[in-house]
Amino acid sequence: QVQLQESGPGLVKPSETLSLTCTVSGGSISSYYWSWIRQSPGKGLEWIGYIYYSGSTDYNPSLRGRVTISIDTAKSQFSLKLNSVTAADTAVYYCARVKITSHQINWFDPWGQGALVTVSS
Amino acid sequence: DVQMTQSPSSLSASVGDRVTITCRASQTIATSLNWYQQIPGKAPKLLIYATSTLQSGVPSRFSGSGSGTDFTLTITNLQPEDFATYYCQQSYTTPTFGGGTTVEIK
């Protein structure tokens, strides 16, 4: 069954760019949608955005302008970049597969184990 | 954004109990409501999608119901592995999650 694993720096300085990668194993990255979700004590669970294997994307309006999601199907990886970070971006970041029908997100399953990213100088 | 409000925020229950968790949407979301279970230190796990359909492998003691703005997750015959935090998530518009309900051991 498909498994997802996040990787990347656990500490990012304010105003810099947060970068994370999700590696998909046990299944194909193609023909699916993939998403990033974060969880913080202050904001709870927050959907960040998704990418289709073809490269099309959609982002949460609250983060649009700061976030970029990209995909490398050859490596079975997709990535998150969030720029101009502040302490409010400190969270556990999850990657997940997304079920989408008629361009509408349905649900997220499965999820990666999560990666804690702290924004601090 | 559609705001999702869960109640209670926490509850204490015993093994074998029946537990009901409520999720209310700030506007109608039809039946576009999913439930997740999160064990501390782990990722959320999909339990129920589209209000009442159990994800494959989820025990039948879990059930979901509702429509419009009011939804419930019911766990009958609570088991030790069910002590966790449960989240609802609407998929009618830009997805948003409830604040969670923690089920603790009494």
- Indicate the pLDDT class of residue A43, thresholds 50, 70 and 90: confident
Which residue from A26, A18, A7, A5 is spatially nearest to A89, judged by alpha carbons? Answer: A18
User: A105, B45: Cβ pair inside 8 Å?
Assistant: no
Residue matched to tokens 């193609």: A30
pLDDT tens, position by position, B32-44: 999 999 999 999 9
User: A107, B99: Cβ pair inside 8 Å?
Assistant: no
pLDDT of res. A70: 98
Under 8 Å between Cβ of A119 and A14: yes
pLDDT at A34 over 90: yes
- Indicate the pLDDT class of residue A104, thresholds 50, 70 and 90: confident
Which residue from B67, B66, B65, B82 is spatially nearest to B19, judged by alpha carbons? Answer: B82
Q: Which helix (H) or strand (E) holds B40?
A: none
Under 8 Å between Cβ of A19 and A115: no
Instruction: Measure the CA–CA gap between B12 and A111, rounded to whole angstroms.
Output: 27
B44 touches chain A (CB under 8 A): yes
Higher pLDDT, A41 or B43: B43
Residue matched to tokens 């990787």: A7
- Summary mean pLDDT of chain B: 97
Mutate to test the interface with B, among A45, A64, A67 (most CBs of B within 10 A): A45
Residue A82's Cβ-side half-sphere holds a number of Cα atoms within 13 Å equal to 29
Partners of A95 on chain B (C-beta within 8 Å) are none
* CA dihedral over B15, B17, B18, B20, signed as positive or negative: negative
The residue count for chain B? 106
Report the residue of chain B nearest A92, measured CA to CA. Answer: B43
